[in-house]
Amino acid sequence: MENTKKIIAVIGTRPDGIKMCPLIKELKSRGEFKVTVCATGQHRDLLDDILETFEITPDYDLGIMREGQDLFDITTEVMLGMRNIFLAEKPDGVLVHGDTTSAFASALAAFYLKIPVFHVEAGLRTYDIYSPYPEEFNRRAIGVLAQKHFAPTERAESNLLSEGIDRNDISVTGNTVIDALRTTVSGEYSRPALRPARGERVILLTAHRRENCGEAMRGIFAAVRRVAEERDGVKIIYPMHPNPAIRKVAENMLGGCGNICLCEPLGVGDFHKILSACYLVLTDSGGVQEEAAALGKPVLVLRNTTERAEGIQSGGIRLAGTSSVSVYRGITRLLDDRALYYAMSVAKNPYGDGRASEKIVDILEQFCS
Ligand code: UD1
Ligand code: UDP
């Protein structure tokens, strides 16, 4: 036990949870590490189901979530909370994921205490600091201070190399979200009503990005409503993000339409099962693009840029923009053009083989030995 290394794993939001849980489980399965899980509580309702699904109980929970919280609230509360935990635990390293404000503020707190930071899903970039906002800043800032960069793809690695990060500090591992699918896609729906009916083409929609709030979101919803009204045999399922600014517009523009199902956020098990059974995905989410690529589902990305250009290159993902015209055209083309649909659905998954967590822990073992 003397050589056991203490690692703190930080989880703040839904995607952090889904992508960190498989890694935490892998770390815990090896004797070399004592793993302390810290939930910031940036997300509450969205995170609890994930922790339950992966059977992980946080050792600490800062419980910072407030309705209408802004970036100042999240950053300061996470930093102060993490300072206390890091001082008490004195970890040998802190694992953070991706680009959320929980990850950025925790990494900065660790840096101030000179604790090594290990960055999972490192190197994603649009090189537009306002898209996604503030995530592009968060991930670049974590990149500046991290000691180990776990890049999901070679493209992410090459971004880091071009920023002057030492090649020896970067490892290409695949994305841990593919590992998560191994737990969630099998088994039954907890809500059988979500299972697509025979012959029905289900379009799964998610939309939550800060920079899409406002005109862009209205453009997206107008296109979706038009498709729903014009097409029989098409059902649109939209599990709404709890952000009140988005829900209000969604309920106004998409409510009361027979073939649009507006629902609460789904548990990750149900969400992944619908994803694996749906016809097509409309999303501004990052994680959903990766999962859909692994499950062979064509994706229209509701943004003008993506940091996941591998998906575009391999052919499974297309940028649909956010205007009602471009989103409408993107959807109807995929509903009508079988050859295009087929080509997108057989595109190669560029995000790994579902063993990213093992690779990351192998590297951490070497690093910490
Ligand atoms: C955050 C991340 C984003 C990630 C997204 C995943 C930042 C800056 N952004 O954005 O990268 O894609 O999570 O979903 O870290 N809310 C609830 N209940 C919840 C969660 C959120 O009511 O369980 C409300 C909050 O009170 C807030 C709003 O939703 O009013 C937005 O939440 P916030 O955590 O600030 O950012 P997200 O948009 O979720
Ligand atoms: N997700 C979920 N339930 C839902 C919608 C999404 O469990 O109702 C999962 C989805 O499988 C993916 C993650 O949430 O793994 C993506 O989170 P989000 O889109 O909020 O964030 P992003 O990936 O864009 O940072």
Give the atom of ligand 2 at the shortest distance from the alpha carbon of 100.
Answer: 25
Whether 119 is a known active-site residue: answer no
Percent of the chain with pLDDT over 90: 92
- pLDDT reported for residue 2: 57
pLDDT digits (tens, 9 = 90+) for 7-23: 999 999 999 999 999 99
pLDDT digits (tens, 9 = 90+) for 326-367: 999 999 999 999 999 999 999 999 999 999 999 999 999 998
| Ligand 1 centroid to residue 179 C-alpha, Å | 23
pLDDT digits (tens, 9 = 90+) for 142-161: 999 999 999 999 999 999 99
- pLDDT reported for residue 135: 97
**Residue 193: is its pLDDT beyond 80?**
no
Q: Of these residues, 89, 135, 290, 310, which one is catalytic?
A: 135
**Residue 1: is its pLDDT beyond 70?**
no
**Residue 187: is its pLDDT beyond 90?**
no
Give the atom of ligand 2 at the shortest distance from the alpha carbon of 289.
Answer: 23
| Ligand 1 centroid to residue 363 C-alpha, Å | 31
Give the mean pLDDT of 91-106.
Answer: 98
- pLDDT reported for residue 195: 79
Whether 55 is a known active-site residue: answer no
pLDDT digits (tens, 9 = 90+) for 251-270: 999 999 999 999 999 999 99
Give the mean pLDDT of 226-249.
Answer: 95
**Residue 79: is its pLDDT beyond 60?**
yes
Give the mean pLDDT of 33-49.
Answer: 94
Tokens at 116, concatenated: 């090594």
pLDDT band at 186 (very low <50, low <70, confident <90, very high): confident
- The whole-chain average pLDDT of the chain stands at 95
Q: Which residue among 13, 14, 133, 238 has the greatest number of ligand 2 atoms within 8 angstroms of its CB, and so is best to mutate?
A: 14
| Ligand 2 centroid to residue 356 C-alpha, Å | 19
| Ligand 1 centroid to residue 337 C-alpha, Å | 36
**Residue 73: is its pLDDT beyond 60?**
yes
Give the mean pLDDT of 274-295.
Answer: 96
6 lines ligand 1 (CB under 6 A): no
- pLDDT reported for residue 188: 82
Q: Of these residues, 97, 140, 155, 241, which one is catalytic?
A: 241
67 lines ligand 1 (CB under 6 A): yes
